Amino acid sequence: SRMKRILLSIVFALVAFAATAQPRAIGARVGVTGLEADYQHDMFKNQFLQGNLGLDYGVLAKSQPGIKATAIYNFIWARPAWTDQGTWALYAGPGVSLGYVGDKVTYKNELTKINTRDHGFMFALAAQAGIEYNFDFPLQLAADIRPYIGLHVGQKAGFYDRGLLGLIPTLSARYRF
């Protein structure tokens, strides 16, 4: 009905206005599996949305990299006062990831077990835990782990093996505005 559309329009306008008033950060995230553009958007006092888009080298460092997009909704659960200047934050949150990436694929034919490398589509649930430091000037540094559990569909469908490489810490540097 018309009243529902008006009400939804007002709600969307308020959310858009609130979203533009929140602090943001943009930068890069570098880890063992690749390089990503990194964007953070504060949602509420102790919550932020993080989005990444980048190259995923995974197991196929010698061949063509894949591409992966990830969205994480983080909750800041502690703000320790370890230094007199700047601020610290410990955070964790769930998310999802999808992409076209390389992965190790294992399958059996009639005679033997075959290990091969395969590019294919990936969909995974992600979990992230990290620590960040915000300087007094607009620079933010962070370290986090982000394992993925999901599916890889290429020549054959199977478990996304490279998702556990997310247990190796990655580093991020972001400009905060």
Q: Could you tell me if 32 and 20 are in contact, meaning their C-beta atoms sit under 8 angstroms apart?
A: no
pLDDT at 123: 94
pLDDT at position 115 is 65
Q: 65 — alpha (psi -120 to 50), left (phi > 0) or beta?
A: beta
- Low-confidence stretches of the chain (pLDDT < 50) are none
- Residue 88 has a pLDDT of 96
CA distance 96 to 170: 17
Whole-angstrom CA distances from 22 to 6, 39, 176 are 25, 13, 11
The whole-number pLDDT of residue 65 equals 82
Q: Considering the entire predicted model, what is its pTM?
A: 0.80
Closest CA to 176 of 131, 128, 132, 137: 137
**pLDDT value at position 12?**
72
Q: What six digits make up the tokens of 62?
A: 């010698």
Residue 157's pLDDT is 80
CB 156 within 8 A of CB 103: no
pLDDT at 158: 80
Please give the structure tokens belonging to residue 52: 């990444």
The pLDDT score that the predictor gives to residue 142 is: 98
Which pLDDT score is estimated for 3? 65
